[in-house]
């Protein structure tokens, strides 16, 4: 188990070397990119955003071992919160008085290209151990078919974990920056706590679809945010109070990422990373996720293989104060359970 700030050693150890920074090309390598970051912000101070990366070969993607997934999820939350006991870690996310919305990504077109239900079950277990009533947990996505694709059962009843699509939407739209959208009433009226649970994959139009893009499934008209590869729309979307003020955890399913194409399924481009990413900072998590995807693309291509579209909205989100994309301000904690 190792705890360190982002360093060349971590990227060498995990194979995440040929990363592309948010400034553009890094042909000079990791050291050159960090040097440039230091020149931009000399003497950077203040709290750092922690990102936890837990990996375990025993997860065995794509045929997931549910117990190993649970272990990885709970370890990720414990390491993020800095505590040993699972109950204490999850109690820092929510408690008995809360209604918790769990936003998954089920729009990948196949059970291998979505937030896996094993990850959802682990989250439900953690919340239950923290005293959250099952019926006060709402798992949702944009459409019913997305939830079914993820292998979940629709439940709008008064017992058990609730699971249903984002509609109906708020009567009035929320205007924030470039975005004018009607948000799901799950966010605006029902939940007190929000957990963002994306999966790790690329997308042809916006570069990557991880935490920031996941809330395209929380609004009525996601197509309105597509111009200019989602910049600044995805950043402004995540500035909405219903998202920004209620988010207590970002937990990314990186068990079987998609490293090319997307967001729809293409079985040729998955690989078993067998990982879980966790953070309180969606920008930092997206930054690390992007690096992991880029490194694998480079390794498969045996040459630099930049994405069709760069996710500039990540840098814009950092500029909006939603988190950090600066490696000097990201504290990385890597745990390998293999």
Structure tokens at 324: 């950090």
pLDDT at 308: 85
Residue 9 lies in a domain: no
Residue 14 lies in a domain: no
User: Please, are residues 246 and 136 in contact by the beta-carbon 8 Å criterion?
Assistant: no
Residue 35 lies in a domain: no
* 14 confidence band (pLDDT: 50, 70, 90): very low
Residue 158 lies in a domain: yes
Sign of the dihedral through C-alpha 290, 296, 302, 305: negative
* 35 confidence band (pLDDT: 50, 70, 90): very low
Tens digit of pLDDT for each residue in 194-217? 999 999 999 998 999 999 999 999
Question: Is residue 18 pLDDT above 90, yes or no?
Answer: no
- Name the residue range of residue 279's domain: 47-336
Output the average pLDDT for the chain. Answer: 89
**Considering its fold, how many domains does the chain have in total?**
1
Question: Is residue 1 pLDDT above 80, yes or no?
Answer: no
Residue 100 lies in a domain: yes
Residue 267 lies in a domain: yes
The reported pTM is 0.88
Question: Is residue 336 pLDDT above 70, yes or no?
Answer: yes
Question: Is residue 246 pLDDT above 60, yes or no?
Answer: yes
pLDDT at 46: 62
Residue 22 lies in a domain: no
Residue 10 lies in a domain: no
Give residue for tokens 């071992």. 65
We report the CATH number of the domain holding residue 108 as 3.40.50.11440
The residue among 180 and 46 whose pLDDT is bigger is 180
């Amino acid at each position: 188990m190792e705890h360190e700030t982002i360093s060349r050693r971590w990227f060498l150890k995990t194979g995440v070397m040929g990363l592309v920074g948010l400034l553009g090309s890094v042909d000079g390598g990791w050291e050159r990119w960090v040097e440039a970051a230091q020149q931009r912000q000399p003497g950077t101070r203040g709290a750092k955003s922690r990102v936890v990366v837990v990996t375990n070969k025993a997860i065995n993607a794509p045929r997931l071992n549910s117990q190993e997934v649970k272990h990885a999820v709970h370890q990720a939350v414990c390491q993020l919160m800095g505590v040993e006991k699972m109950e204490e870690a999850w109690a820092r996310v929510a408690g008995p008085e809360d209604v918790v919305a769990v936003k998954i990504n089920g729009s990948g077109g196949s059970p291998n290209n979505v937030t896996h239900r094993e990850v959802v079950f682990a989250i439900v277990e953690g919340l239950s151990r923290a005293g959250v009533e099952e019926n006060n947990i709402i798992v949702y996505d944009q459409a019913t078919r997305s939830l079914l694709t993820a292998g979940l059962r629709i439940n709008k009843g008064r017992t058990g974990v609730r699971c249903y699509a984002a509609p109906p939407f708020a009567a009035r739209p929320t205007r924030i920056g470039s975005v004018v959208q009607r948000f799901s009433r799950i966010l605006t009226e029902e939940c007190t706590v929000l957990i963002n649970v994306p999966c790790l994959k690329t997308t042809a139009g916006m570069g990557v679809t991880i935490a920031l893009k996941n809330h395209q499934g929380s609004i009525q008209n996601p197509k309105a945010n597509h111009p200019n590869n989602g910049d600044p729309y995805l950043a402004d979307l995540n500035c909405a109070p219903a998202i920004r003020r209620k988010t207590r955890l970002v937990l990314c399913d990186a068990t079987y990422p998609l490293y090319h194409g997307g967001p729809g399924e293409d079985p040729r481009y998955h690989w078993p990373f067998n990982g879980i990413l966790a953070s309180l900072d969606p920008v930092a998590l997206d930054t690390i996720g992007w690096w992991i995807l880029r490194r694998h693309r480079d390794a498969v291509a045996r040459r630099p293989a930049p994405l069709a579209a760069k996710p500039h909205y990540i840098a814009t989100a950092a500029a909006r104060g939603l988190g950090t994309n600066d490696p000097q301000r990201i504290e990385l904690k890597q745990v390998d359970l293999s």
